[in-house]
Each structure stands twice: as structure tokens, then as C-alpha cells.
């Protein structure tokens, strides 16, 4: 029985690694600064979305035009990766000084079942006062996740107690003021490197 569970765990891990690899290949196939509307020969990153922010206000991608967007997909019940990445984003923005005013940090949940606007409001405020927390219906979340080539899946507890976590890819996306994909920062990027990458795009 233990061997069966071990094989299942190994199979699940391999599946997640393959999915993450596909997402990374799709992102890395895009040249920096390519237009999400005209790029050919690679995966398109980004696109229109219709969601709800942490105040309960319906928003679309058009509401953020004119500002760079720094976007992370995760969930508030995430024990380690998500808070780590959001802290990296916050630290990178601190390093940018006044240039940070040109950037809209954004956390989009991949767990709309639990991440209500009020839940997001308390969560994102811990990292940056300007960070937007966005949620929506399962269909809306699936749509924006597809647009950004984000992998996510519910992982129920082995105890069948109703608790679950979320498996997901972990990239921070940097988008231009007109919605073009500029760069994706992989998990493990330091605040210094992220700030350096953002600053290079803002200067250009």
C-alpha cells in the first residue's frame, strides 16, 4: 500500500514538473517586449480580463492602462511560495523609489472559492498598500489564467476532510502600460534582480 501511495506521489510530482516546464517554455519563447496582440511563433501572454478587486469593485484590464502591471497568480491560503513572491515584489518596488508609482502591483487569485474580496483585502495589504487583489467567478479566473499561461489545480487533502491546497506555476509577470508582455520573473528571483529588470523597462 505504501509503495502504491509513493508511486502516486511521484506521478503527481512528475506531472506538476512537466506542466511547469511547459509554462516556462511558453513564456521563454516570447521575446522581451513582444505585443500580446501581434506576436506570432510563440505563446501569447496577457490579454483582456474582467474581475473584482478587494473592495468589491468590478474591474477590467482597461482600468490599469497607463501603468505598468506587476502580476502574480496565487492564493491566500498558500503557506510559503505565494507570500514569499509577494514579499519579493514589495521589496523590489521599495527599491524603485519614485519609479514604483508607475507600477501597479497585482495579486490574482487562482482560488476564487475561498478568496473573496474581503479575504483579499486583508491579505494584500500586508505586502504593499497599493497592491490590488483580484478575484472573480471560477470562469473568470480560468479565463485570465489561460491568457497568462498559468497552470493551477486543486489538490484535496489526503484526509478527505474538505481542506485543499492549490498547485500552481509561480511567475511574476511584468506588463507594459498598454498591456504588452515585457518580462516574466521566475520563482527565486531576488528583489534586486526584479527591481533591475523593472527599471530597465521603465527607462526604455
187 labelled ligand-binding: no
Q: What's the confidence (pLDDT) of residue 25?
A: 43
Cβ(70)–Cβ(99) below 8 Å? no
- Residue 168 labelled as part of a binding site: yes
Residue closest to 21 by CA, chosen among 10, 13, 31, 11 = 13
Q: What percent of the chain has pLDDT over 70?
A: 78
Q: What is the pLDDT of residues 133-168, one digit of tens each?
A: 999 999 999 999 999 999 999 998 887 778 899 999
Q: Are strands 103-109 and 68-74 parallel, antiparallel or unpaired?
A: parallel
pLDDT, position 9: 42
Dump pLDDT digits (tens) for 12-43: 444 444 444 444 444 444 434 333 332 333 45
Region at 135 (left for phi over 0; alpha for psi -120 to 50; beta for the rest): beta
User: Which residue range forms the structural domain that includes residue 67?
Assistant: 2-203
- Domain count of the chain? 1
Annotated binding residue at 193?
no
Indicate the pTM of the whole model.
0.80
Q: List, as one string, the DSSP characters of 61-129.
A: GGGGTTSEEEEEEE-TT-SSHHHHHHHHHHHHHHHHGGGGGGEEEEEEES-TTT--HHHHHHHHTTT-T
Beta carbons within 10 angstroms of residue 76's beta carbon: 19
- Among 68, 62, 75, 54, residue whose Cα is nearest residue 194: 68
Q: Residue 116: which pLDDT band, with cuts at 50, 70 and 90?
A: very high
Instruction: Give CA–CA dist 50/59, Å, rounded.
Output: 6
* Strand pairing category for 68-74 and 152-156: unpaired
pLDDT digits (tens, 9 = 90+) for 75-88: 999 999 999 999 99
Residue 1 — pLDDT band, cuts 50, 70, 90? very low
Which H/E stretch holds residue 141?
helix 138-147
pLDDT band at 189 (very low <50, low <70, confident <90, very high): very high
CATH number at residue 116: 3.40.30.10
Q: Grade residue 44 by pLDDT with cuts at 50, 70 and 90.
A: confident
Q: What's the half-sphere exposure (Cβ side, CA atoms, 13 Å) at 152? A: 27
Residue 188 DSSP label: T
118-131: pLDDT as tens digits: 999 999 999 999 99
Amino acid at each position: 500500500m505504501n509503495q502504491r501511495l509513493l508511486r502516486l506521489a511521484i506521478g503527481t510530482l512528475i506531472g506538476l514538473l512537466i506542466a511547469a516546464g511547459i509554462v516556462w517554455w511558453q513564456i521563454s519563447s516570447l521575446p522581451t517586449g513582444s505585443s500580446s496582440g501581434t506576436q506570432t511563433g510563440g505563446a501569447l501572454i496577457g490579454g483582456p480580463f474582467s474581475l473584482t478587486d478587494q473592495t468589491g469593485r468590478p474591474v477590467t484590464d482597461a482600468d490599469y492602462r497607463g501603468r505598468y502591471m506587476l502580476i502574480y497568480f496565487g492564493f491566500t491560503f498558500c503557506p510559503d511560495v505565494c507570500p514569499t513572491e509577494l514579499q519579493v515584489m514589495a521589496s523590489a518596488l521599495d527599491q524603485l523609489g519614485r519609479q514604483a508609482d508607475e507600477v501597479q502591483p497585482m495579486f490574482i487569485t487562482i482560488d476564487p472559492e475561498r478568496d473573496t474580496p474581503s479575504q483579499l483585502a486583508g491579505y494584500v495589504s500586508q505586502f504593499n498598500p497599493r497592491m490590488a487583489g483580484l478575484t472573480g467567478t471560477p470562469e473568470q479566473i480560468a479565463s485570465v489564467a489561460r491568457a497568462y499561461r498559468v497552470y493551477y489545480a486543486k489538490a484535496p487533502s489526503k484526509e478527505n476532510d474538505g481542506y485543499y491546497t492549490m498547485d500552481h506555476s509561480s511567475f511574476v509577470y511584468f506588463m507594459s502600460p498598454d498591456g504588452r508582455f515585457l518580462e516574466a520573473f521566475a520563482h527565486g528571483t531576488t528583489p534586486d534582480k526584479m527591481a533591475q529588470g523593472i527599471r530597465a523597462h521603465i527607462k526604455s
